[in-house]
Structure 1
Amino acid sequence: MSKKTLVLGASLKVDKYSNMAVNRLKQSGHEVVAIGLKQGTIDGVSIDTDLMPYKDIDTVTLYLNPKNQASYYDYILSLNPKRVVFNPGTENPEFYNILEMNDIDFEVACTLVLLSTKQY
């Protein structure tokens, strides 16, 4: 089942995990949207630099360190995702609490591992 996913912190650099995640999500049949600092495309997925009012987001997968996440809290909540995935290096107990208060599930996990083990 396809899970529309927002990759937040997407990078055009092919050696970055966020870039790999966009590719693997697409290869796994998921619809992908992405926000990053620089516009461009990854495997046909446009990277937006503005906070877009995406609809029907199932999962937000984070590639931003905790101090850079705070300015995105309200935006992520506005998307009303089913879950947020905190990839290694993005762990953020403050945001966990905010998500819990808003009945949004979260996972501290690696998107690439979840995909490779069919747990996504």
Structure 2
Amino acid sequence: MFEKRPEAVAQARDFARAFLAGLRPTMDEQAAGSVELTVSELVTNSVRHASGGACSLRLVARRDVITVAVTDADPRPPCERTPDLAGGTGGFGWPMVKTLAVTVDVSTGPQGKTIRADLPRG
């Protein structure tokens, strides 16, 4: 569980890095980088856009995929918006996650949402 503060993103990346470092067989560098980037983007989106005071991260390793799941208390699903090339307000993360992942699933309910992305293990 991470408090929704800017430092949560770095903490989530560190958690993901440690998780990936413990996997056997090890992942190739590009695949591991994609997982770290997905963790970073999903936690950033939760911190910046979702209501509630915390979010959680779950990582699961399977033979062919790594599942990244971020849960927060906001039931609104992510919305794609035009990337802001000048103002620095983002818009790049959600499309990038959908490109990197094999599948992306958003589950919503009265208690919030979970975004689950399955990425190739490489």
With structure 2 as the length reference, what TM-score do the two structures score? 0.29
Which structure: larger Rg?
2
Relative contact order, higher structure (CA 8 A, sep 6+): 2
With structure 1 as the length reference, what TM-score do the two structures score? 0.29
